[in-house]
Structure 1
């Protein structure tokens, strides 16, 4: 695990950031914290799945890079999360692709890097709104 920011640990209030670049993970954590939300950062698909297995009921959204360490990438992680935990909002990001990857689940959002803070904040705020 890379880190955690914020203190709103209520049900469905955590944003899971999956990013193996520590500087980008910190940047995402700061943006989410500025929106008044709690974020947890992990640096791999395995760490994300381990966290979700124990805490999925607290996770409102997952914000993941496409390229990650390990055998799976962020698109494959998004596809698994969309099926296993459909209540979690998903946003996948990439510094390489400018267009939505075709294999991304229909309910997942795509955001090219560099991130625009207002887009990140809008995504996480929408994710924590009661449905």
Structure 2
């Protein structure tokens, strides 16, 4: 089985999704951007074994928010590294899984790259 090599970016702002993709690719992994919880779950159902990390906004379109998505992914696919981001809360959101990382917006490229590199090494 091949080593997981994709970072799933869940961000409904297309400009921010593009920025995140550039940072992830700078860290040496390809990124896949989706704009909703439903699209993220559809992608994971098909390709979870290829996903090293998920980088998700808190506020998303769909039945779940980014924290709820992170909690689901942490249980269903525990080997996927998770980072949840927000421009609203300056502190770690309540109910974020213990193994998930929180990163406030605006992102610092070095922090995103460090998260992606450590996720790739962990797998």
Q: TM-score normalized by structure 1? A: 0.91
Looking at structure 1, the residues matched to 63 and 76 of structure 2 have their Cα atoms a distance apart, in angstroms, of: 19
Contact 1:66–1:73 (8 Å) recurs in 2: yes
Pairing 1:9-24 to 2, within 5 Å after superposition: 11-24=3-16
Q: CA RMSD in A?
A: 0.9
SS of corresponding position for 2:38: helix
Pick closer, same or farther for the CA change 1:106–1:22 going to 2, 3 Å.
Answer: same
Unaligned runs of 5+ in 2: none
State the match for 2:27 in structure 1: 35
Unaligned runs of 5+ in 1: 1-9
Looking at structure 2, the residues matched to 130 and 108 of structure 1 have their Cα atoms a distance apart, in angstroms, of: 14
Normalized per residue, the structure richer in helix is: 2
1:62-115 CA-partner distances (Å, limit 9, x unpaired):
000000011210000000000000000000000001100121000000000000
Contact 1:11–1:59 (8 Å) recurs in 2: no
Q: Pick from 116, 124, 127 the counterpart of residue 116 of structure 2.
A: 124
SS of corresponding position for 2:95: coil
Q: How far is 1:130 from its partner?
A: 4.2
Q: Larger RCO: Structure 1 or Structure 2 (Cα < 8 Å, ≥ 6 residues apart)?
A: 2
Q: TM-score normalized by structure 2? A: 0.96
Looking at structure 2, the residues matched to 29 and 61 of structure 1 have their Cα atoms a distance apart, in angstroms, of: 13
Pick closer, same or farther for the CA change 1:108–1:130 going to 2, 3 Å.
Answer: closer
Moved over 3 A (4+): none
Pair 1:58 & 2:37 matched = no
Equivalent residue pairs, number: 122
Pair 1:90 & 2:82 matched = yes
